[in-house]
Chains A and B, each alone.
Chain A
Amino acid sequence: MGLFSFFKTEKKKDTASLAKERLQILIAHEHSDKNKKSPDYLPKLQEEILEVIRKYVHVDEDDVNVNVEKGDDFDVLELNITLPEEDK
């Protein structure tokens, strides 16, 4: 019996630790959703960044992309600007 149950638990991953991991990630996410209202300022940010860039090069609205990616410990603000092809 002892041997048999040893093999059984060896094969099957301990589901309780899986549950714990999933909960920790989920709850961290739900908390960050609530506390940081990140998406709220994004449209305005995008607009202002566009304005600044336009002082130097001509870009279209569609050429600027702002994104926030949520990580476990920190969020990443991602800026993607497609510059027009330069005619040197």
Chain B
Amino acid sequence: MNGKNDKWGFHTEKSNLITLDSNDRSLVNILAEQVPSLNSCFFCGSCGATCTASDDGMNFRLVHLLLRRGELQTVNKIIRSCLLCGKCTLVCPRNVDTRAVIYNLKILIHELH
């Protein structure tokens, strides 16, 4: 433990440090263009709560959050377990087409590589 943080009794984990100035948000912008309803998400978490693949770590709210932060590596790992069953879309109170987002995300990530 070092520096100022000590004084306040907490510190920041290096791996969770997000620099919102330099993160890569291009993907989420493209996605929001492809599926405009993504912008109405208010991170309520209903999608994650109902997810069929939640035991495998899938959680759409989390994916969306990570996308906004630009943490693509983690996103790529998580969405592999999505079964595209569409439950999340059906429960979303904001009518976000979550399934379409994941589907397009898979394709986008593939195109990036």
Answer yes or no: are A and B bound together in one complex. Answer: no
